[in-house]
Amino acid sequence: MLDINRIRENPEAVKEALKKKLWDADFTELLAWDKRKKELIQFVEGNKAEMNRLSASVPQAKKNGEDVSKIFAKVKEIAAANAESDKELKELEDKIFNFLAELPNIPDDDLLGGGKENNKPIRSFGKKPEFDFPLKDHVELATSLGLVDYDRGAKIAGRGAWIYTNLGAQLEWALLNYFITTHLKDGYTFILPPHLLNEASGFGAGQFPKFREDVFWLEGLEPQRFLLPTAETALVNLYRDEILKEEDLPKKFFAYTPCYRREAGSYRTEERGMIRGYQFDKVEMVQYTKPEDSDAAFEELVRKAEDLVKGLGLHYQVSKLAAGDISHSMARTYDIEVYLPSMGIYKEVSSASNARDYQARRTMCRYRDNATGKTRYVHTLNASGLATSRIFPAILEQFQQADGSVVIPEVLRPWMGGLEVLKPIKK
């Protein structure tokens, strides 16, 4: 949520910043409501002061033998006026809150405006793999190697589902173990959060109200709950309505969860298989930091996500996203994108993002500044570390051999029983 003071001080600057995110904001009504709110607060507070003065005058009036009924009548009259003002004040506060709740985060100044057409690759690792034999895509490889059963996945769950089988299930679990072991080594705290979250969690993460229909809601539960679309939604709500100690920052977490999303897409030809689905596995990193430390934390998260892909030996690139292509809640995002040879394109496997204080304002997560004794909003950041549903295909495609086998990345072999190569199954 944005700080209304920023809008009060320079509404045109905020409007122009949000245009970079392809968001057209008009603050005319908001500022009018805000002005009226201030007037009402002054009116109510003035009335309260007058009521206190009148009430305090009663003992002396009685002592002087005066009729105090007029004083009580005046107090009652003022109280009635305040009740009406309080009602209007509450309506205005709701309007202001709902208006601010819809606004996206302000993008960082250095980001280009516009959508994905303005995303810029800033670095890459390794070279595009070259092959002197006919390429197979990950669907054909996963099927011939007996790693994934797409047909039975669709049969038992419908489109956008698959089943990891035998060595495929082991490879998926090896990836997750590789990610988890690395994050533990780096001092991050491991979390296994609930998969059913309440509405306040969706609001706190900034996914609601705008993207309320993009999640799977469960009927018949009180309070109503939804399946988490990413562990970030849970992790950034851990300290909702809490005040942290400055010395406890930064807080660094990672979580493993399946992720459930409605926006699985239209399944274009190049997105068949496991490139896009309604459920996928992901390890997610989140940090809570002081504002002055969040830029360094962002670079750390990007580096950690990159190091995981480097460790697998995969060719990838890092792209700095334009303001209009970063998510609603974020101020800046870098995508780590692996190369898929069969498609000839790069696909995102991690988005590292800085929300600044946007999510913290929604969750009311603060820390107490030791120097001033005042509370300040934390900054929250997140990055996938990593999502497997595109890493898995990239491994199959980039490390395929002429005989249809696939070389297993060395870092995964301890969880594959020492197996070095996946070979086609005999029919």
Amino acid 46 reads: G
Is residue 123 flagged as an active site residue?
Answer: no
Is residue 39 flagged as an active site residue?
Answer: no
Distances (CA, A) of 62 to 55, 250, 387: 12, 62, 77
- Residue of 351, 353, 384, 389 marked catalytic: 351
- Residue of 172, 225, 261, 384 marked catalytic: 261
Place of tokens 């009635």: 80
Q: How far apart are CA 71 and CA 12, in angstroms?
A: 49
Q: Which two tokens stand for residue 51?
A: 């009521």
- Residue of 276, 332, 361, 362 marked catalytic: 276
- Is 100 exposed, middle or buried (CB count within 10 Å of its CB: 0-12, 13-18, 19+)? middle
Report CA 335 to chain centroid distance, whole Å. 14
Distances (CA, A) of 19 to 9, 115, 211: 18, 11, 19
User: Does residue 383 contact residue 163 with C-beta atoms inside 8 Å?
Assistant: no
Q: Tally Cβ neighbours within 10 Å of residue 118.
A: 16
- Is 423 exposed, middle or buried (CB count within 10 Å of its CB: 0-12, 13-18, 19+)? middle
User: Does residue 260 contact residue 215 with C-beta atoms inside 8 Å?
Assistant: yes
Strands of the 375-377 sheet, one edge to the other: 243-245, 366-368, 375-377
Place of tokens 């990413």: 230
Is residue 201 flagged as an active site residue?
Answer: no
Is residue 332 flagged as an active site residue?
Answer: no
- Is 87 exposed, middle or buried (CB count within 10 Å of its CB: 0-12, 13-18, 19+)? exposed
Residue 318's SS3 state is strand
Is residue 348 flagged as an active site residue?
Answer: yes
Q: Among all residues, which ones are annotated catalytic?
A: 261, 276, 348, 351, 390
